[in-house]
Amino acid sequence: DAGVIQSPRHEVTEMGQEVTLRCKPISGHNSLFWYRQTMMRGLELLIYFNNNVPIDDSGMPEDRFSAKMPNASFSTLKIQPSEPRDSAVYFCASSFGGGYTFGSGTRLTVV
């Protein structure tokens, strides 16, 4: 199993641009999570899907952030427009019944 696959690994973009982060969960996992990690705030849950349905998006910071899961094997997190304070590492994780497996993350820098 290839694990949770995220792309891109690194993204540098200018303020105001749209950014799309992608995640392919482990096959058979029915829950998918997007987390953001910064030095100041640690790992924060942004949104959680179960069976492709968003269950809890209370962690999404504002309307500039949106996430979709059109099928069991793909999810996107979009930031539009991006701002420098969005700079962080964004992790996707998937699970089935409890244990999480994280992807390698996308390191986003907004300049």
Residues in the site for other proteins, rule: CB under 8 A? 31, 33, 35, 41-43, 45, 48, 50, 55-56, 91, 95, 98-100, 102-105
Q: Taking Cα atoms as reference points, which of 94, 93, 91, 88 lies closest to residue 109? A: 88
- What secondary structure letter does DSSP report for 25? P
Residue closer to other proteins by CB (options 17, 32) is: 32
Least separation in angstroms between CB 31 and other proteins: 5
List residues bridging with 27 in a β-sheet. Answer: none
Least separation in angstroms between CB 90 and other proteins: 11
Residue closer to other proteins by CB (options 81, 107) is: 107
Q: DSSP labels for 33-63?
A: EEEEEETTTEEEEEEEEETTEEEE-TT--ST
Least separation in angstroms between CB 80 and other proteins: 25
